[in-house]
Amino acid sequence: MLSLAQNPRLLRLQNLHQIPLKCLHTSPIPTPTPSPSPSKPTSQILKIRKSLLSRETTAVEIAKTFLDRLRRTEPHLKSFLYISPADAVLKQAEEIDRRIQNNEEVGPLAGVLVGVKDNICTSDMPSTAGSKILENYRPPYDATAVKKLRENGAIIVGKTNLDEFGMGSTTEASAYQVTANPWDLSRVPGGSSGGSAAAVSARQCVVSLGSDTGGSVRQPASFCGVVGLKPTYGRVSRYGLVAYASSLDVIGCLGSSVADTGIVLQAVSGHDKFDATSSKQGIPDFASQFIPSDYLDSKPLNGLRVGVIRETLEDGVDPDVISSLQGAASHLEDLGCTISEVSFPSFSVGLPAYYILASSESSSNLARYDGVRYGNQIFADELSSLYGHSRAGGFGTEVKLRILMGTYALSAGYYDAYYKRAQQVRTLVQKSFKAALEENDVLISPAAPSVAYRIGEKKNDPLAMYAGDIMTVNVNLAGLPALVLPCGFVEGGSSSLPVGFQMIGSAFDEEKLLKIGHIFEQTLQGCCFVPPLVANDF
């Protein structure tokens, strides 16, 4: 592949309008004709709020626009497992319009359509976690993050597709359907939050929630050309998130701009009495970091120390991805940052440690799915038959594999050799990050070793798929926040594919990440990360 992103500042809009749309369906969406597009990302949330409060448009009109785009694109993308009925969405939009008309207060997310990953509980929609064992399951409550979104005026438009129970890196392990990448329908959107990333990329919703256990928000963000934010462990309540690996799981945000992800994070953060692992740490005003580009100095990040993780640029990483990261680093340097190289000796051992810990915790968490209490109930004369029929038919191949791996690692005689050593590696990873972040304000790396791969390319090679998480899993082991931003494009056959880079910060320092990320994207001249699928609408 030939790189189009040696330096992201050199990208121009005309490159994007030449991308042919490769469609795999009999009713293709035509390739859009060139049209003006923004040269830098803008906050869709702030734009919606301004247009609503100024009476330029209505929440109903906004909802109809997104519902129409969703109707046109969803047969091709398959981002959603469940879409809220149009009349229910419009009813909520009408209520927002009524409140505005009566000069009543509306929340900061009023009129914003949000997609929610289907492993996050919603009381009025199914929550299947992408698994047959939870088919048609409707929780009796909203997850805390969903409840907070609704309290802030957001409209939940539907539940997005995912790898079953979040176990996968391509969204091909869903029990229901395979989601396509909006930039090239023959490629995966990443995983496990592939549906959430694809929906935002294709502008089927404004923002979305995903979950990140080992990179499941950040890798899809890179593949789909959107912004993905993994908060510090404990920043957002996990209450209502279907458990995969409880010490690693976090709810994250996806948006088309840094400002949008920060606004959503502001809405869903905070201590929750229903989650003993949620932090009481104060929540900064993230929106205060989103300074308009017209007010920025020539060196707005002057004095900031940025460390490039050396081990993320070695063998196994596509040269074009490395070029894109180097271009991003060069741009940060132009903004006033001091760039240095950081060695991370424990980087490579984080991946096997992660999979041992995640599989071990999943084998424990998924023991609750016995065919009695959740999902489709199974009737049998004997307990062994009940478990066998429910779990054998309800779990997919990848989930069974990880349960078996985890059970083996926790079994007598192997606990010390695997699980205990993995926890020791986790401590090493945490110490390495602590040392590196004492010398640097943020660390950067690629978000994935390559651009999006073709559907089916990794499905039968689990080790190759697991290796795709090498850039992200260490962050989860350390419980740190990380932000993924688009930084360029790579030519991938018949289309150009987005590349993202990852910024890692200290615990509970999302404010700094959002500030740097916002300045980075606002000064990245001539970039437009809207896929051809929806380019005519922008």
Cα atoms in the Cβ-side hemisphere of radius 13 Å centred on 57? 15
Catalytic residue among 43, 79, 193, 216: 216
Query: What are the strands, taking DSSP E only, across 335-481?
Result: 338-342, 442-446
Query: What are the strands, taking DSSP E only, across 53-199?
Result: 80-83, 113-117, 155-160
Q: CA-to-CA distance for 130 and 126, rounded, in angstroms? A: 10
Give, in order, the Cα–Cα distances in Å from 220 to each of 172, 248, 316, 387: 13, 18, 19, 34
Q: Is 37 marked active-site?
A: no
Q: CA-to-CA distance for 257 and 501, rounded, in angstroms? A: 14
- Beta pairing, strands 305-309 & 250-255: unpaired
According to DSSP, the residues that pair with 504 across neighbouring strands are 443, 482
Q: Is 192 marked active-site?
A: yes
Catalytic residue among 192, 196, 211, 324: 192
Supply the DSSP string of 71-101, one letter for each residue: HHHHHHH--EEEE--HHHHHHHHHHHHHHHH
- Name 285's Cβ contacts closer than 8 Å, sequence gap at least 6: 266
For residue 219, the 8-state DSSP code is H
Q: CA-to-CA distance for 156 and 236, rounded, in angstroms? A: 18
Structure tokens at 194: 């592939």
Catalytic residue among 117, 148, 159, 515: 117
Q: CA-to-CA distance for 302 and 337, rounded, in angstroms? A: 5
From the number of C-beta atoms within 10 Å of its C-beta (0-12, 13-18, 19+), residue 140 rates as exposed
According to DSSP, the residues that pair with 340 across neighbouring strands are 307
Sheet holding 442-446, edge to edge: 80-83, 155-160, 113-117, 207-212, 250-255, 227-230, 482-492, 495-504, 442-446, 305-309, 338-342
User: Are the C-beta atoms of residues 319 and 450 closer than 8 Å to each other?
Assistant: no
Supply the DSSP string of 337-360, one letter for each residue: PEEEEE--TTTTTHHHHHHHHHHH
- Name 21's Cβ contacts closer than 8 Å, sequence gap at least 6: 28, 29, 30, 31, 32, 185, 495, 532, 533
Q: Is 117 marked active-site?
A: yes
Q: CA-to-CA distance for 126 and 83, rounded, in angstroms? A: 10
- Name 128's Cβ contacts closer than 8 Å, sequence gap at least 6: 81, 118, 134, 135, 136, 137, 159, 175, 176, 375
Give, in order, the Cα–Cα distances in Å from 21 to each of 18, 179, 190, 299, 348: 9, 16, 19, 39, 37
Compute the radius of gyration of the chain from its Cα atoms.
22
Q: What positions carry a catalytic annotation?
A: 117, 192, 216
